[in-house]
Amino acid sequence: MSCLFCKIASGEIPSETFYEDGDVRVFKDINPKAPVHLLVVPKLHIQSIAHLATNHGDVVAKIIYVAKRVAADQGLTGYKLVFNVGREGGQVIDHLHLHLLGGWGSKEERNVDV
């Protein structure tokens, strides 16, 4: 298994984890673009949203519900959820992940490019 996010999600590589269960790990982005910048990562290796199969609905629903839960735990009342898809979409890590971004103090700060 050579995928970085497979290794982090499984716990083989340590991370600053905010939530974990059998399906998902949420950890801090190493290069945060917002006061709160977490990555919601399924333990199942799926390359991107563009690579979803018809049986992956549960995985996608799960990471969105986990994002909602962790955002609430962090006290965020508003936030952004972002999937980068493919190189042209800004995706660098080829393992599906949902960016959870928030904690801004002003509208200007909120203009993030992840």
Would you say 97 and 41 are in contact if contact means Cβ atoms under 8 Å apart?
A: yes
Q: Hey, is 57 helix, strand or coil?
A: helix
Which of ligand AMP, Zn ion, none interacts with 31 (beta carbon under 5 to 8 A by kind)?
Answer: ligand AMP
**And the tokens for 3?**
């995928």
- Shortest Cβ 95–Zn ion spacing (Å): 3
Task: Determine, following the binding rule CB under 6 A, whether residue 29 of this chain makes contact with ligand AMP.
Answer: yes
- Asked about 97 being catalytic, the answer comes back as yes
Window of 28-36, 49-57, 62-70, 71-79 that interacts with ligand AMP by CB under 6 A: 28-36
Alpha helices, DSSP H, located in the chain = 4-10, 57-73
The residue (of 45 and 80) whose beta carbon lies closer to Zn ion is 45
Distance CA 82, CA 6 (A): 19
Would you say 98 and 39 are in contact if contact means Cβ atoms under 8 Å apart?
A: yes
Task: Determine, following the binding rule CB under 6 A, whether residue 93 of this chain makes contact with ligand AMP.
Answer: yes
Q: Residue 103's beta-bridge partner residues? A: none
Active-site residue (options: 37, 95, 97, 99): 97
Report the interface residues with ligand AMP, using CB under 6 A: 15, 29-31, 39, 84, 90-93
Report the catalytic residues: 97
